[in-house]
Chains A and B, each alone.
Chain A
Amino acid sequence: EAGVVQSPRYKIIEKKQPVAFWCNPISGHNTLYWYRQNLGQGPELLIRYENEEAVDDSQLPKDRFSAERLKGVDSTLKIQPAELGDSAVYLCASSLGGRAGNEQFFGPGTRLTVL
C-alpha cells in the first residue's frame, strides 16, 4: 500500500515568488494535515482537513498561505508571496479520522528554501 505522497521533494525560490506543494494521502484516510517543521524543531500544525472541510486552520498565516482539498482527497498548500522565514520542511500527514487520536502517517516532506 502506498504511503503519503508529496511533491516536489525540494523547492528553491526567491522571496516574493509563489510556491505550491501537493499531497496525496493514504487511500481511505479522511483526515489530512499540513505541518511545518523549522530546523531543529518539531513539526507544528498549519491546517487540518476532515474530508474537504478545513476544521482547524488557526495556525495558518492566512495573509500569505492558502490550502485546498478538492474532492476530499489530494491537497495543495500555497504560499504567495514567500518570505525568507518560510524556509522550512512542509510535511503532509493523514489518518483514518472519525475519532480523535487516530495514528497519523507522514509523507517525506517538501524542503523549501527561500533566497
Chain B
Amino acid sequence: QLTQSPSSLSASVGDRVTISCRASQGINSHLAWLQQKPGKAPNLLIYTASTLQSGVPSRFSGSGSGTDFTLTISSLQPEDFATYFCQHLGSFGGGTKVETK
C-alpha cells in the first residue's frame, strides 16, 4: 500500500515542490512516479525511484528507498500543474494534485 502526501498543494510558477510517498513495507527502489493532466492519460515520469523517463525535463527528480520516497519539481512550470501518482507493481498512491496558488 502506498500513501501519498499531501493530497493537494497550491504553488506558484518557479516554486520548488516536493511530494511524498510512503510504502507500507520496504520496496527497495522499486517505485515510479506518473503525472496526469486533466482529461489526459497518465504519463510515466520517473522509475526505479530516481531514473528519469526519456523526454522528461530535468527539473523533475526522485529520491528515496525502502519505504519513503520523494518527487521534487525544482522550479514549477505552468505545464506542471497536474496530479502526480506514485506506483509500485499493482499499487498506486492516492495522488497529489498540484494547483496554482
Is this pair of chains taken from one and the same complex?
Answer: no
